[in-house]
Amino acid sequence: MTLTCDCFVENVQYRFCWCPPGTFKMGSLKEEYLKQTCRRGQETLHPVTLTHGFWMLDTPVTQQMWDCIMPKNPSFWKGDLLPVETVMWEDCQRFCKLLSDKLQRKIKLPTEAQWEYACRAGTRTAFNCGDTLNGFQANINGRAEVLFDDDPAKAAGSPFLGKTTPVRSYSPNNWGLFDMHGNVREFCEDTFNPHISHHPAIDPCYKNESSNLHTTRGGSWLYAPIGCRCSTRECGSKENEIGFRIIMEQE
């Protein structure tokens, strides 16, 4: 059963889903790759323990949410229920600070460990819905080859919309979180680190003050399935396929 917490700012609902503390395997298995050349060393499999549970917004931050907090909507595609995009990481930090003040709760970006843990929601497959993903299950480039499936006929007719879609347009994961695969890539708190240790980690968050590259997770409407896996790690800046999701720390 999904445990939720609803907050309101100017009658705009923010629904948070509970992610309990726990340990999981962060990173990817070799078997997740269609071709050996696609294997990425930056997804080294290693155990991670999150000692504190947290509340995660059930969708990416929408433009309706953004407009209640921030003075200007930078999104390329406009719509209240579309995720806000074309944002800078610094913009996301400002949004979190202002929303924290309004709610009197600590709001922040998830670390990428928290993000992957929440995306998996207890699963160990390439995607939280199994080992394959297509354009009927998430807003991705559905015309691309389906992971693990070398029969193009099975991917025929899978859509590629070429733009963002309203949040909650597809099924949620086991913890009630929508759009963890596709729609928009989501900024995390971490500076991007291409060299992930294989050693066990506790509440990790990588910071490098000399770098302005920050981790994005989840892939987007532009990405083939392989780029939207639970473990896919990217970095980015101000693009029309990058948004963000927030967490509310446990009181």
Q: For 139-158, how does the pLDDT look when each residue is reduced to its tens digit (9 = 90+)? A: 999 886 544 444 444 445 68
CA 177 to chain centre: 10
Which residues in the chain come in under a pLDDT of 70? 31-41, 144-157
> What percentage of the chain reaches a pLDDT higher than 70?
90
Q: Does domain 4-249 have CATH number 3.30.70.20?
A: no
Q: State both tokens at 11.
A: 């009658």
Q: What pLDDT, on the 0 to 100 scale, is given for residue 33?
A: 57
Q: What is the pLDDT of residue 249?
A: 93
Total Cβ atoms within 10 A of residue 171: 10
- Reference 101, options 191, 9, 15; nearest CA is 9
Note the pLDDT of residue 51. 98
| β-bridge mates for residue 191, sequence order | 214
Instruction: Spell out the residues 6+ positions from residue 209 whose beta carbon is closer than 8 angstroms to its own.
Output: none
Q: Cα separation of 125 and 113, whole Å?
A: 16
Strand order in the sheet with 247-249: 4-9, 12-19, 54-57, 247-249, 107-108
**pLDDT score of 153:** 41
Sign of the four-CA dihedral 227, 231, 236, 238? positive
